[in-house]
Amino acid sequence: MKELRARVVAWIRDWFEKNGKGCCAVIGISGGKDSSVCAALLAEALGKERVVGVLMPQGVQHDIGVSHELVEFLGIRHIVVNIKEPCESVLKAISEGGMSEEELRANKLYTSNTPARVRMTVLYGIAALMGGRVANTCNRSEDYVGYSTKFGDSAGDFSPLSDLLVKEVKALGYELGLPKKFIEKAPEDGLSGKTDEDNLGFTYAVLDRYIETGEIDDPAVKEKIDRLHAANLHKISPMPMFRK
């Protein structure tokens, strides 16, 4: 992990040298392992004065305190933007355009993905104002099964963690000296009251092992992982384009 830490830090520095010399990094902070580890890497690579954490609760968020603790621990600047009203405004505008508000609120794809896309809009708005670059915080395990929102949390200008399995992200967090509460905080979608692993139907440990070795004990889980991977490849693949 010490070698990996050095390599990721060097990669971030090199990327900013070529793609945003002197710019700040803008990163959404959830208080979970991915944003915590990514923010810590950015602070080490660029200096904490060049990292801006953005906290984006949707109304009242029960665990927002962890995000505040993370930015305080790292000593980075932070901005709080509550996205409840923007999300409601989008819903209202669509419903006024002729769509049913009741159907929108009942549609899981809409209710789960829209806040993620609003958050990314906020990050790019802040980056535009500050001359910054937006960090993507996805990891390899989540990307493999498409557990992200297209043009939402799967977006960004650069991605330090997207080739790392969940277990590697956690190990890197400990190498960086992050407190356990930031590394082991159970990730959740903030809507269903369930953890990500509950929603997926398998643990990240099982997923990591399968990605890394091809080994898995439960055929039904293997079938589900394979199905999710195939169905969600479009999220991490270049946009198909017609060529004349």
Q: How many domains would you assign to the chain?
A: 1
Helix, strand, coil shares of the chain as percentages rounded to 5?
A: 55, 10, 35
- Examine residue 211 and state whether it is found in any structural domain, yes or no: no
What CATH number is associated with residue 20? 3.40.50.620
CA-closest candidate to residue 232, choices 119, 103, 142, 167 = 142
The per-residue pLDDT for range 179-209, each reduced to its tens digit, is 999 999 887 665 566 788 988 999 999 999 9
**Residue range of the domain that includes 95:** 2-185
pTM of the model: 0.94
Give residue-wise pLDDT tens across range 82-131.
999 999 999 999 999 999 999 999 999 999 999 999 999 999 999 999 99
136: amino acid identity, one letter: N
* Domain annotation covers residue 206: no
Percent of the chain with pLDDT over 70: 98
**Which phi and psi angles does 39 have, rounded to 5°?**
-65, -40
Q: DSSP assignment of 98-160, as one string?
A: T--HHHHHH-HHHHHHHHHHHHHHHHHHHHHHHT-EEBP---HHHHHTT-S-TTTTT--SB-S
**Is residue 234 included in any domain, yes or no?**
no
Residue 217 lies in a domain: no
